[in-house]
Structure 1
Amino acid sequence: MDRIITLIEKDELRVKALDCVQQLHLSQCYLAAGFVRNLVWDHLHQKSVSTPLNDVDVIYFDETEFNPENYRLIESELSLLMPELNWEVRNQAIMHKRNGDKPYLNIIHAMSYWPEKETAVAIRKLDDGSYDCIAAFGFESLFNLQVTHNPKRYLGIFSDRVSSKDWLIQWPNLRTVL
């Protein structure tokens, strides 16, 4: 999605984070969720300063990785490269176990189970310097300032997240869609 890539390229922190993650060469590896979503919502709310990131979600898909604690090593490596961020790394190939789902087929399939459709958006930097931006449900609702419940997850989980994260306060033009 060109609009998201343009926003990313104007954000030094996000460009640096993408550069750090690219150095790891993880399989199907993206920066996801609030890293992209919040940037779009900030832009649409005409914020002059980006909303601080509570954490930076790094997702990848490696079916050959059997150590469920490997993410801690990756988080440590990223913290050395960019200590100002709170890195949260997860191999989506094994997250189905925690979530009680059937095995996910790939990164986009895993994202299709996330509680809000607009959170299921991610970006990565490719070796040629270009960016690859994906979304499990497309980009339209994200740019329409919606927070949409994903029926694959309980409504209570969605409602708790919307409330606890103060999205409707931080971005008052958002509207929830059930």
Structure 2
Amino acid sequence: MSLEARLEAIVRETPDLMRVLGVARELDLPDWLIFSGAVYQPVLNRLTGRSASYGIKDYDLGYFDASDTSYEAEDVVIRRVAEAFAPPLREMVEVRNQARVHLWFEGKFGEPYAPLTHSSEALTRFVSPLFAVGVRLEADDRLTIVAPFGLEDLFAMRLRPNPSRVTGGFERTATSVTARWPEVEVQRR
């Protein structure tokens, strides 16, 4: 079975993630993806024998709308998404317009961040290839998987720095991940 097929099976067997994907599909935001911990954590949980929802603090829903990069426009979408979910998912789905990340990223994280051109480009800037995976549930129930670095690191449980973007957050992230999944192998270079 290919890594993509394995990922799809795990995603489809994760009830809360499928609920989030279904609602996101209905909301039909432009160029949307569910990514980061919402996707990689169920895989780590399956590989280590933990429950599907172990460690999941939020569901990152990214979309791309360059027509209005104001916070006010993003806030309208945030409220619309919140109204579409019942608790506890309402509080767990975090929505961000990827077209405006460059406007606040450096102020929050102290690192420059060039503007993105689409949602999946954000994955290329994640701290580690292990995290750089996104999914979208299509109208015909197909699952689109976006993984610019592939899925090998994820299924090998290998945490290494992003080879194309050096970031200062790797050590903090490695500490957090190995506290929850001590089985993860950390490669610092």
Change (3 A) 1:175 1:52: closer
Decide whether aligned partners of structure 1 residues 48 and 110 sit closer, same or farther in structure 2, where only a CA change above 3 A counts.
closer
Q: Deviations over 1:120-146 (max 9, x none)?
A: 111111111111011121111010001
**SS of the residue aligned with 1:26?**
coil
1:49 deviation in Å? 4.6
1:5 to 8, 28, 46: 8
1:177 aligned residue (156, 167, 187): 187
In structure 2, how many angstroms separate the alpha carbons of the residues matched to 1:97 and 1:111?
Answer: 17
Look up the match of 1:31: 34
Cα deviation, residue 110, structure 1: 2.0
Match of 2:80 among 71, 77, 82: 77
The correspondence for 1:93, drawn from 90, 95, 99, is 99
- What does 1:1-178 correspond to in 2, within 5 Å? 1-82=4-85, 83-85=87-89, 86-99=92-105, 100-151=112-163, 152-154=165-167, 156-163=168-175, 166-178=176-188
Offset at residue 97 of structure 1 (A): 3.1
- Output the CA distance in 2 between the equivalents of 1:170 and 1:87: 21
- Give 1:169 shift: 2.3
Structure 1 residue ranges without an equivalent (≥5): none
The structure where helix makes up a greater share of residues is 2
Equivalent-residue separation in structure 2 for 1:65 and 1:128 (angstroms) = 29
Deviation for aligned residue 1:109? 1.9
Alpha-carbon offset, residue 52 of structure 1: 4.3
Residues paired across the two proteins, number: 175
Separation in structure 2 between the aligned mates of residue 71 and residue 103 of structure 1, nearest angstrom: 16
On the 8 A contact 1:75/1:87 being kept in 2, the answer is: no
Task: Structure 2: state its 5+ residue gaps.
Answer: 106-111
Alignment root-mean-square deviation, CA? 1.7
Q: Contact conserved, 1:72 with 1:89, CA < 8 A, in 2?
A: no
Q: Evaluate the alpha carbon distance shift between residue 116 and residue 36 of structure 1 in structure 2; reply closer, same or farther with a 3 A threshold.
A: same
SS of residue paired to 2:60: strand
